[in-house]
Amino acid sequence: MNELAYIDVKAAGDQIASQVPPVVLTALDPGAVRTAPVDPLDDREPRDCQVWLALEHGHTGSLTARGAMNFLATHHRLGTLPAAGIAIASDDNAALACAWAAEQHDVPATIFLPGSTPPAHAARLRAHGADVRTVGAGYGDALTACRQFTTATGALTYDTDDDPLLAAGAGTVLDEIRAQIPDLDTVVLAADSGLLTGVAAAARHHGIRAVAVEPLNSRRSPQTPPASLTSVLVSDQELAIAHTTLQDRCGITVGHGCGAPLAALLNLEPPTRPEPAAAGRNRSTAARSYRPAAGEKVAVILCCSARDAHGSA
C-alpha cells in the first residue's frame, strides 16, 4: 500500500463520524508506566508520564469496523458496489467488521472461513446476514475460494492489507483521541497493516510520535513500518504481563497479541528509546520497549478490545 495522505483520513472521519461509536479513553494509574532515565544534571522534580488506553466499543469491538464502514460508505456513495456485494477470506475481526458494515448498507457479504474457525464465530457472522462458507483446512484454502468467487461474480474484494479506504477509516481513531487529548505526544499501536498506515498518516500531520508494536512470535507476516514510525517487538512473556495488567487494573480482556502496545510500555529492558524504523528494517534490530519521557502524554490503542461492564482504571 502506498503512503496514505492525511486528507484521506480526514475525509473518512467526516464520512463515518455518525456511524461508529467514538473511541473511549481510560487513564492508567499514575506511575503504572515507568519513564526513561533523566539526565543526571536535570535537577527538576521527577514527573510521571500520563498514559491513556484507547478502547473501541460497540458493534464489532474492533477498530476494523471503522475501515469497513469507510470502505462500504465510499463505494456506496460512488455507485461502485456490484450486485454481488463484497467478499473476504478471514477468520478474525475483519470478517465480523465486513459483515456488520455490509448489513448497515444492505449489501451482500460472502465470507470464506477456514475449517478451523470456531462455530460461534461463524454464527456471529451469519447473525449479521453474511453468506458464510467454510472451505478447506487453512486460511490459504479460504483465500483461494474467495478469489475464485470474486472473479466469477464480480464481487468487491475486501483486502484488509492493501486497501487505502480501510486504512483511512482505521486512522480516524487518532483524530478522535487527539480531540480529547490536544497535547498528545505519542501514540502506541499494534503493527497491523491497515491501522498502522492510517494512524501513521494522522500522526505525521499532527506531529505526534507513533510507535508500532508487534509480538516477537507473531503468526502474521512481519510488517515494515513507515519510516516515520518507531518499531518495537515484545515477547510472549511480556504479552502475558500486559494482559494480566489490563485484566487486574482495568477489567479489560483482549485477545492474544492485542495487548502488545501496552506490553511495550511495561517492559523495563532496555531502558532506552528505540530509533525510528528505516525502510526494510530487520526484525532483529527492532527495540524491545518504549520508555516515555517524564511528563510525556501517551495513548495506547488496543485493538479488538472488550471491557468488562464493571471495569475501571
95: CATH: 3.40.50.1100
Whether 203 is in a domain gets the answer yes
Q: What is the mean pLDDT of the chain?
A: 83
> Minimum mean pLDDT among 39-48, 96-105, 124-133, 226-235: which range?
39-48
Q: What are phi and psi of 253, to 5 degrees?
A: -115, 130
Same-domain check for residues 11 and 43 = yes
Same-domain check for residues 147 and 174 = no
Same-domain check for residues 235 and 267 = yes
Cell numbers placing 128: 449479521
The 3-state DSSP class for residue 52 equals strand
> What per-residue confidence (pLDDT) applies to 306?
43
Whether 213 is in a domain gets the answer yes
Do residues 168 and 9 make contact, with C-beta atoms less than 8 angstroms apart?
A: yes
- The residue written with cell numbers 498528545 in the block is 184
Q: Residue 253, Cβ neighbours under 10 Å: how many?
A: 15
Same-domain check for residues 12 and 106 = no
> What per-residue confidence (pLDDT) applies to 198?
92
> What per-residue confidence (pLDDT) applies to 219?
53
Instruction: Look at residue 259 and tell me whether its pLDDT is greater than 80.
Output: yes
For the segment 140-163, the average pLDDT, to the nearest whole number, is 91
pTM exceeds cut of 0.95: no
Domain C-terminal end among 108, 132, 154: 154
Distance CA 173, CA 171 (A): 5
**Parent domain of 96:** 83-154
Whether 72 is in a domain gets the answer no
> What per-residue confidence (pLDDT) applies to 39?
59
> Minimum mean pLDDT among 160-169, 203-212, 267-276: which range?
267-276
For the segment 70-79, the average pLDDT, to the nearest whole number, is 94
pLDDT tens digits, one per residue of 78-122 = 999 999 999 999 877 889 999 999 999 999 999 999 998 899 999
CA distances from 6 to 3, 40, 161, 197, 201 (A): 10, 39, 18, 10, 5
Q: How many domains does the chain have?
A: 2
> What per-residue confidence (pLDDT) applies to 94?
86
Domain C-terminal end among 154, 182, 205: 154
